[in-house]
Amino acid sequence: MAPTLANGSTLASHKVFQIPEIVELILSFLDDASNASNARVCKKWSDIALNLLWREVPDIQPLFEILSPLEQVPGRRSLAEVGYLFTRKLGVSDWERLSRYSRRVRALVHGPDWPKPVSTLAFDEVARSRPTLHILPNLRSLAWLTLDSDGMRSSLMFMHEHIVQFSASLYRNIEYPLSDYFKEVVLRMPHLTHLDLRFDFAVHHVEPDLIALVRGLPKLKQVIFPLYSLTTRIVQAMSTLPHLGTIQFEFKDSQGQGDVEDVLHFAPKLREGAFPALWDLSLSARLQDVTTLLNNAYGPTNLTTLYIHVLTPTQPDEVTRFLNALAENCQLMTHLYLDYMTSSMVQAQDDPDLHPRLSWDALRPLLALPNLVVFELRWDQPIQITQADIEEIAPKWPSLEVFLFNCEPLDPSEESTLTVHALLPFARHCPKLRELGLYIDATKITDEDAAALGPSVKPFKSLERVCMGLSSISDPGPVALFLSRLCPLTCELTSGVTWPEGFGMAETSTNRERLDALQTKAAVWWEKWAEASKVLPLLTKLRIQERDARAEMEKEVEDLRTRCRLLSARAGVQMEGDDSCVAC
């Protein structure tokens, strides 16, 4: 009850807590334990707090325990009986109790990691006793990430036409084929806009069924598949969806992985009007196949984000042709990612004539993309690039926010021609830059190099992270001193690799020796970059204090000069008016 004044009016500050929208906003910042207490304050707060507590349910077990306690029954042996069971048969009163909470659920995730895994028999009991068709009538997002096909089938009872987001782990089972499951998905959830499928088998086993699934969901806006599963025929089927804006795959282990042979030949036949809404595309394919797609008369032209996982060794002229096709057909491009680091196909040859190094000359068509704000390049070998090339790049992209330029090549045996001076053009011309990654040689920098920058050097304004990857370094002191003149106080300096150990390298004794040698060098470099990262904030803080003190001193000097000019001018006026002597 809100406190009142002597005249019976309510305090203005407490009237705020009678507005449900404001109360909900405030409670949304609290944890579950606090909102559980808030649910017992009053009836108005109870509904708001319960809505927040049950809006997103991390597993099915808390909901089931409202129906009846769950326990493990000893002596059970069959697969269906593994896990927790209800202690009794469910009745009408149990479902009436659940209804107070079930209508509040908007998102449900069911996975294998919950402390009390629910038995298949418990799902059977729920399906048998439920009084209504929709157990969770206001559910909008369903993620069913189980470990077997039986668990997958249990998701059917929670599906209905109001669900728009669906994630599922798929399993092949002769007794319950995926074709039947997909038909149920289309029938029960025809208005899906987001589809996330995870599986660990070759996609050609279920390709016709997946095509039928995609075509049966015309309102799809986003699809996420495992690696090596976006085949020619599947992408071709997706091209006709009128609202599809995002096609992507994930590298995560939880997403799964298909067979690379399924995507080695990528050549979808497109018709007029293909990809009318597509703006974000991720593909695992040969680069020449992607070039052909972009040059297709009906290819996607509204792309703003493109991620290409390159499968095979690629000649520099093929990279140039791809970038030219991109510049000609996708002028709206803002985010571009080229990745040959994580390929599991044929590895780079030792003969440079068979596998020539990629150079900036091959990448120069990138400058024809004026709207680019994010560019990430991951390649197996270092890129041949000079300081003059960097001086050309930075002024062309004043809106650049992320530039990660192959800072962790798989084979860093070739020394970089770049030094820490490569950061200077970006500091001068890219005020919005947040992340910068370069492969440089920081072994030759001295204290004199940092001092030579002088007080007029222009530091970064928005830089949050500098990624040095596998860049070589000998003395962390001069490097940190140099960077302290450029980096903001909160900027993070990182090094090392993001690719897994040996990933992308064929299992041979030669490659194992190379990897061992690389790890030895990288460990030494990492320690020195880590040392530079530790002292960088302190040096940067000192630089900022120096700049502030210098600015204050310059202000005082300018003020004194102004006073001197005024006094000199005043003295001159007085001397012209009479013959008296003016002493200053």
DSSP string of 266-319, one letter each residue: ------TT-SSS--EEEEEE-HHHHHHHHHSTTS----SEEEEEE-S---HHHH
pLDDT of residue 2: 52
Beta carbons of 142 and 106 less than 8 angstroms apart: no
Least confident of 45-49, 312-316, 431-435, 499-503: 499-503
pLDDT of residue 48: 74
Packing angle of the helix pair 20-27, 43-54 (nearest 10 deg): 50
Contacts with 549 (C-beta within 8 Å, 6 or more apart), sequence order: none
Beta carbons of 285 and 263 less than 8 angstroms apart: yes
Q: pLDDT at residue 216 above 90? A: yes
- Kindly state the average pLDDT of the residues 285-299: 95
pLDDT of residue 419: 92
Bin 471: left if φ > 0, else alpha if -120 < ψ < 50, else beta: beta
> What's the Cα-to-Cα distance from 532 to each of 163, 356, 452, 474, 529, rounded to whole Å?
51, 34, 20, 11, 5
The b/e string for 415-438 (b: 16+ C-beta within 10 A; e otherwise) is ebbbbbebbbbbbebbeebbbbbb
CA pair distance 405, 470, nearest whole angstrom? 12
Q: Phi/psi of residue 425, each to 5°?
A: -60, -35
CA pair distance 13, 3, nearest whole angstrom? 10
Give the pLDDT band (50/70/90) at residue 233: very high
CA pair distance 156, 276, nearest whole angstrom? 32
CA 295 to chain centre: 28
CA pair distance 416, 387, nearest whole angstrom? 11
Q: pLDDT at residue 219 above 70? A: yes
More confident residue, 246 or 540: 246
Least confident of 436-440, 442-446, 490-494: 442-446
Pair of tokens at residue 107: 């998102």
Give the pLDDT band (50/70/90) at residue 365: very high
pLDDT in tens, 128-148: 999 888 999 999 999 999 877
pLDDT of residue 76: 52
CA pair distance 309, 300, nearest whole angstrom? 18
More confident residue, 113 or 353: 113
More confident residue, 553 or 243: 243
Packing angle of the helix pair 207-215, 178-188 (nearest 10 deg): 10
pLDDT of residue 506: 46
DSSP string of 368-420, one letter each residue: G-TT--EEEEE-SS--B--HHHHHHHHHH-TT--EEEES-S-S-TTSPPS--G
Q: pLDDT at residue 315 above 60? A: yes
Q: What is the DSSP letter of 444?
A: S
Least confident of 158-167, 170-179, 252-261: 170-179
- Kindly state the average pLDDT of the residues 282-291: 95
CA pair distance 55, 508, nearest whole angstrom? 52
pLDDT in tens, 325-357: 999 999 999 999 999 975 444 444 444 455 678
pLDDT of residue 333: 96
Task: Residue 158: name the closest of 183, 175, 141, 179 by CA.
Answer: 141
Rounded to a whole number of angstroms, the CA Rg of the chain reads 32
- Kindly state the average pLDDT of the residues 361-370: 94
> What's the Cα-to-Cα distance from 177 to each of 131, 184, 335, rounded to whole Å?
29, 11, 39
Q: pLDDT at residue 293 above 70? A: yes
pLDDT of residue 511: 57
Q: pLDDT at residue 568 above 90? A: no
pLDDT of residue 583: 46
Task: Residue 58: name the closest of 124, 105, 119 by CA.
Answer: 105
> What's the Cα-to-Cα distance from 3 to each of 7, 45, 371, rounded to whole Å?
12, 17, 57
Q: pLDDT at residue 220 above 50? A: yes
**How long a stretch of residues is the chain?**
584
Least confident of 37-46, 86-95, 269-278, 480-489: 37-46
Tell me the β-bridge partners of 384: 359
Pair of tokens at residue 381: 């070998």
Q: What is the DSSP letter of 203?
A: G
Tell me the pLDDT of the chain averaged across its residues: 85
pTM metric for this prediction: 0.84
Tell me the β-bridge partners of 108: 57, 142
How would you write 91-156 as a 3-class SS string? CHHHHHHHHHHHCCCCEEEECCCCCCCECHHHHHHHHHHCCCCCCCCCCCEEEECCCCHHHHHHHH
Least confident of 73-82, 106-115, 405-414, 492-501: 73-82
> What's the Cα-to-Cα distance from 40 to each of 1, 43, 47, 54, rounded to whole Å?
13, 8, 10, 15
